[in-house]
Structure 1
């Protein structure tokens, strides 16, 4: 039984004695009734010295709902103090104070000295609206905080509108293919808010985007009021008379609304425009959201506010832009659209202006819950805030070492022979590789969910996996939470009452010819999770599968359904209405596999890759990839900001389909020497350069095949660059795997926005296409076709060009050369980088080290090592070797090794290379390290 140590002042004791019905002390905090407004009670709980949970109830009763992000009750409660001064009650820890105004329920947070960190909006900033869904009562609610104009806000998961700093922006938080919502925001002021709710939520503006005709007065091409002019061409040559009609909205966003298109539209040869004028009824910044598939442009007042964007027909994307417009003024508008398939989607919606101060406020709204519930997390910097987040949601695991290598994947290897041939080619060409992936449809065509290999195409899966292992590689396989109703696994889960039934009732057929009926299992059901794993264990894990690719884990029962029908398709859940638990499915699905595998084989590290995610997934050894993104330069660029925000959402392992998943048709059969093939190769080259410096390094996508030799022949600049960066990744494995250790032991974040390390430099608040990879490297991807230079911002300090060793002083921007085969890459002065020999997989040992010391500031780094594959590190079987460099004495100290594990190298040769402004090629010193302290001076 844990004990809370609570210090109460004399005045507090007297207060409780005289007002025992007013304020109640709990084991880890207080419950305070509120005397006015919609809020009837506020509950404050101390989680750690730097984390306080705030709950606000519209009834005065706090529901003890299941906590899916993590039950923090097992954490020891630190000492805290409760005091009162008039109407203000203060709950204080060793580092943090939460103050509560009893009259309004308003809460604000200060440091121990009373300096304000964050305050709820004047009056409390709380709103409640009763809702009832499927017989369950609850509330929609919103919490608003006061505005700090100087801060930057980051996190919220991974989204595709290429937004970075969320200050003043809006984001709808739900799960969908390419969209992963984590309701956590971190501020440059040194705090974070973890919004504890699982339903559809919104950050910023609580309103849903509205139709154009609901916000603007619309005029057609002739100036007639009421609608825009929509023109539909069935033939892009315009040889066929177009259909023209008036439309007061552009909303063809889902399977229901596309029925409003003209008959037999769209088609592959179609073309459409919407033209006219819009007249705002309010002045200010209007926020537009484009939902698009195919090729789309948007012009307002003659300006291209959305440059051409593309997505494949079945998988639309969202993109946001904002335009300042004046009330009563008419602005020309034109939307141009080229569908790229027989069924395609388009929508343009808008939010009318909010007052600037209100737009800039930090605010969360959720569709359904029992009460407002959030965790305030304090820290001196973003790393400390993220550490607090993991105190609440769980530690990040040390990923298996092989997961830090290169993964080869395509959609899909159709046969056992295809897969083994690809692996053999990599080994023959000596291109490093650690993981090969089998994507979907390895099962018999009518047996999705059977977890069985099609015997004709995969005659010996156990033998195939054994051969993969013999060649020092690992095998990952795609498993969906989807089951055809004819499979035994469906029937077993259905007998538990654990299959979502709406898709069955509606006889929804998937896209596999001729179409099969199935549904998804209810991952919120604990018995269903156990059964799901048991089925996987019997049919797949028993064959030797190493890692799991959990696809469509949003869950995506059917593409492009409207939101209300999506909720019907994935509910009701075991816990209650899907409306209430909409966003946490991937977390529960990850728990099924993590707990299941560790229950069967507690020694081997689990590895999961999931297309969706939620707060806390890191504790299940789970990484997320950015879904079925497009093969466009703008998609590559968007992955940088998406990955950085996902990392700042507290989940350290993220990856993407290098090269993009959904392929423009022009690339599918591009001929040698054509501009399309040249662009395809350059796109992949630049994407590989970027991908080598992400937490996980993985290529994947539809045809053309993604093997290095299928993208370009050996000897070409494309091939050479891809091989170089793959080899560089493996040479840096001692550094990279140490970063993986830091995610567990230090709550570290590997992929780091510049603002994480340079929060005092406000220029970094908006830099979304450069990032730190660990403490040493600054990666600067090139994300434009034929671009051979780019602007790079260098924060204060000394920086070294990785390729030449040349140094420069920071605090300024420079135009840096970016030849085809190289991404601008820099090392921060005051860095230590341990590297090893070139290896073909992490199964090879890198005993001897080359340690690069980039001078210019004091530096430190800890080399982390363990056996790379088991959980022995949890029992203390690992070692660390501290490296420290003192600039004043120009000395590197290799400290005494701490810890041990059976496979540890007892003695190793170390080559130290000091890189200085005077010696850009480096000065070299060699030593033998036997675990005892060594000091090496710059010669």
Structure 2
């Protein structure tokens, strides 16, 4: 289909003449309040300053109109002081932080810093505008090429399970899919980012000749260039442009259990009870599909399955066990459901093929009994209203705590070219295809926020688009298969996704499908893989076990005293001990545009060895995580947990590092061999870190943080701000939270605890801190009452 498309584009070029920016010896421009408008022979260019470090570029064919309300961008341009300088064949716009030069002959734009350092430049490549007939609309296929430095590393583009850290030398067809979530945004190690604001199927290409975006449909080229100085600065710009990430409830950072699927309310509640009986921490259970019954009632948003006779009791029983439940909902409906009937009456359902195809549960699908399931039109505000009406009535009213929004790509099977001609509220499906997850997730978030402020929105979703961080969504990497390669690929995919500005990502612990392991959980190598995957997930924004083919509860992997079981329990406990650290880092995301999963380039951009390192990362600002991504302890399908296995770990230069498990100190800039038995994930703490450690609990809010251990890793000065609030409402948006800042002075060997800032209902007025210095193993216990303290060591 792709080859046919470009062949037709070639015919269009012959018939209608593709448009590049032609030479113009007499440029005609006007200064606007935000920038300039420049008229060339065959096209118009408009540059708008949004901030001193961010500009929007719009290019349109001559004598065409361009009106667009962005689905991703929420920032309104701010009036920015700038000046214009004219030279032969060039106009330069200068703000406080950026200089944008336009070649008035070619129309190409270059971006430099005030010190003349070149960041990025456009280049003349494929035609900018190729006439394209989108159903009954005359429009264009749009393209823009750029020149990057040969050794320049770039990051982002979404979830690409290609094992690459730097996204150079590849071509990507960006159409949302189960395991690939595309964001047309990349950022450079040089400290800039570029967001291509287009929602149609798009090709990103990078090779020795050029780096380009080409989108099938666009009335014009529309992109944003931003300079942040470093990765954090670029992400801050992207979130300023497309929306900030709200706080999740504290309980979402605990451990989550799921499988495909729990088949009765007795089974679902029983899993939570079993965890409580074992004393293994758990905060959430997930109810997967078919609680609605057969496929003709697909996604009915109510319990019609006879195995769930009293859903209110199920929810109440889970809550009584101090756990939470989220539930599977989809972007499609079966023909016998109430939502389907109302959406069909309003012509708000699409006709392309989706999953499930059959009304029967057999595999392969029995097409003698088609399901009739259809995807709804989330671009339509009335459709989003209908979606929430039934969600609120059938599920939220029961006390369901959050939403597992599956198939938010959506599932699109047996793809035909005419499928993209489907009419949506905003035009053809082709025109807005990739923004589908943004619209459907956004609809649920906005409606729930309008319904209550007493409960924070939490959405687990399978797909994402630029700006989705503002909708309280945590995106998982789709239906992966269990393999060591897949586990390793999750690392770079999660990091690149975070580098697009969307901070919350997770994966199915153990992989969704267990195709490679015929004996499933009886296969020792799979048990080893599962343990390593869970260790990795301990240091991701959501720790969630899920999959098909075999159950994944901890008690399926043995019992206490056995190697795999003990390893799993150890890391679930570790996750809970780090909740004060994780929740405080989450506040840095909401309040200071930080990221939880941090590619090493974010903190060590001058260390060339980390620029393309795809199997290590920082978790928050203190933990260096090096997941084990190959089998060490199962040879010939036999367990041998006594042998010695090692994992090579590179410690970035410019700092010292502490082995989390032993306290041993290492200089940065070296690769070490870390012994990694089945219960050891190589972890290192950056010198100059302060890490709070919480109590042993069975669920996140079981105990308050009145007695925390504060671990100090000296070697250089350090700061950490402990954040607390009411855990699950939006009062923090009105100032109901507290911050306690810890400052370590390395020269004086002195810790300052600043005056507590803020207040909220239930805030601890007095508490104990056990202050622990890692180098000397010195510990002091103090009582803190909210006033400044200075403690010398």
Q: TM-score, normalised by structure 2?
A: 0.92
Report what 1:303 is aligned to.
Answer: none
CA displacement at 1:95 relative to structure 2: 1.2
CA gap 1:82/1:541 in 2 versus in 1, 3 angstroms? same
Over aligned residues, Cα RMSD in angstroms? 1.9
Does structure 1 retain, via aligned residues, the 8 Å contact 2:689–2:713?
A: yes
CA displacement at 1:666 relative to structure 2: 3.7
Deviation per CA, 1:654-674: give whole Å up to 9, x if none.
000000001126445564xxx
The one of 799, 812, 820 aligned to 2:670 = 812
Report what 2:389 is aligned to.
Answer: 534
CA displacement at 1:591 relative to structure 2: 1.1
Does structure 2 retain, via aligned residues, the 8 Å contact 1:468–1:474?
A: yes
SS at 2:187 equivalent: strand
Q: Matches of 2:230 and 2:664 in 1, distance apart?
A: 31
The one of 420, 423, 427 aligned to 1:567 = 420
SS at 1:584 equivalent: helix
The one of 401, 404, 427 aligned to 2:253 = 404
Q: Matches of 2:418 and 2:762 in 1, distance apart?
A: 54
CA gap 1:889/1:608 in 2 versus in 1, 3 angstroms? same
Report what 1:331 is aligned to.
Answer: none
CA gap 1:751/1:507 in 2 versus in 1, 3 angstroms? closer
Does structure 2 retain, via aligned residues, the 8 Å contact 1:484–1:518?
A: yes
SS at 2:424 equivalent: coil
Report what 2:436 is aligned to.
Answer: 585
Q: Matches of 1:790 and 1:175 in 2, distance apart?
A: 35
Does structure 1 retain, via aligned residues, the 8 Å contact 2:178–2:407?
A: yes
SS at 1:170 equivalent: strand
The one of 778, 782, 787 aligned to 1:927 = 782
Q: Matches of 2:750 and 2:30 in 1, distance apart?
A: 59
Q: Matches of 2:733 and 2:557 in 1, distance apart?
A: 41
Corresponding position: 1:732 with 2:578: yes
Q: Matches of 1:511 and 1:79 in 2, distance apart?
A: 64
Does structure 2 retain, via aligned residues, the 8 Å contact 1:848–1:909?
A: yes
Corresponding position: 1:868 with 2:718: no
Does structure 1 retain, via aligned residues, the 8 Å contact 2:265–2:308?
A: yes
Report what 2:75 is aligned to.
Answer: 72
Report what 2:49 is aligned to.
Answer: 46
Report what 1:839 is aligned to.
Answer: 697
Report what 1:272 is aligned to.
Answer: none
SS at 1:528 equivalent: helix
Q: Matches of 1:486 and 1:840 in 2, distance apart?
A: 42
Q: Matches of 1:805 and 1:498 in 2, distance apart?
A: 60
CA displacement at 1:194 relative to structure 2: 0.7
SS at 1:579 equivalent: helix
Report what 2:772 is aligned to.
Answer: 913
CA gap 1:812/1:28 in 2 versus in 1, 3 angstroms? same
Does structure 2 retain, via aligned residues, the 8 Å contact 1:909–1:929?
A: yes
Q: Matches of 1:930 and 1:447 in 2, distance apart?
A: 57
Deviation per CA, 1:411-456: give whole Å up to 9, x if none.
1100000001100011111111111100111112131131121352
May I ask how many residue pairs the two structures share in their alignment? 749
Report what 2:348 is aligned to.
Answer: 498
The one of 300, 307, 317 aligned to 1:457 = 307
Report what 2:478 is aligned to.
Answer: 627
Deviation per CA, 1:366-401: give whole Å up to 9, x if none.
111111111101011100000000011100111111
CA displacement at 1:768 relative to structure 2: 0.6
Does structure 2 retain, via aligned residues, the 8 Å contact 1:41–1:105?
A: no
CA displacement at 1:565 relative to structure 2: 5.7
SS at 1:23 equivalent: strand
Q: Matches of 2:671 and 2:520 in 1, distance apart?
A: 41
The one of 406, 422, 425 aligned to 1:551 = 406
CA displacement at 1:124 relative to structure 2: 7.5
**Where does 1:435-834 land on structure 2 (aligned, <5 Å)?**
435-445=284-294, 446-503=296-353, 509=358, 512-513=361-362, 514-558=369-413, 561-562=414-415, 564=417, 567=420, 571-664=422-515, 666-668=517-519, 671=522, 677-786=523-632, 788-796=645-653, 797-834=655-692
SS at 1:852 equivalent: strand
Does structure 2 retain, via aligned residues, the 8 Å contact 1:29–1:46?
A: yes
CA displacement at 1:203 relative to structure 2: 1.4
Does structure 1 retain, via aligned residues, the 8 Å contact 2:521–2:527?
A: no
Does structure 1 retain, via aligned residues, the 8 Å contact 2:159–2:182?
A: yes
SS at 1:644 equivalent: helix
Does structure 1 retain, via aligned residues, the 8 Å contact 2:520–2:526?
A: no
CA displacement at 1:937 relative to structure 2: 1.9
Deviation per CA, 1:511-562: give whole Å up to 9, x if none.
634541120100111110111111100111001011001101111143xx34
Q: Matches of 2:412 and 2:339 in 1, distance apart?
A: 17
Q: Matches of 1:203 and 1:853 in 2, distance apart?
A: 45
SS at 2:673 equivalent: strand
CA gap 1:202/1:652 in 2 versus in 1, 3 angstroms? same
Report what 1:140 is aligned to.
Answer: 141
Corresponding position: 1:127 with 2:128: yes
The one of 114, 118, 121 aligned to 2:120 = 118
Unpaired runs of at least 5, structure 2 = 1-24, 363-368, 634-644
Does structure 2 retain, via aligned residues, the 8 Å contact 1:509–1:516?
A: yes
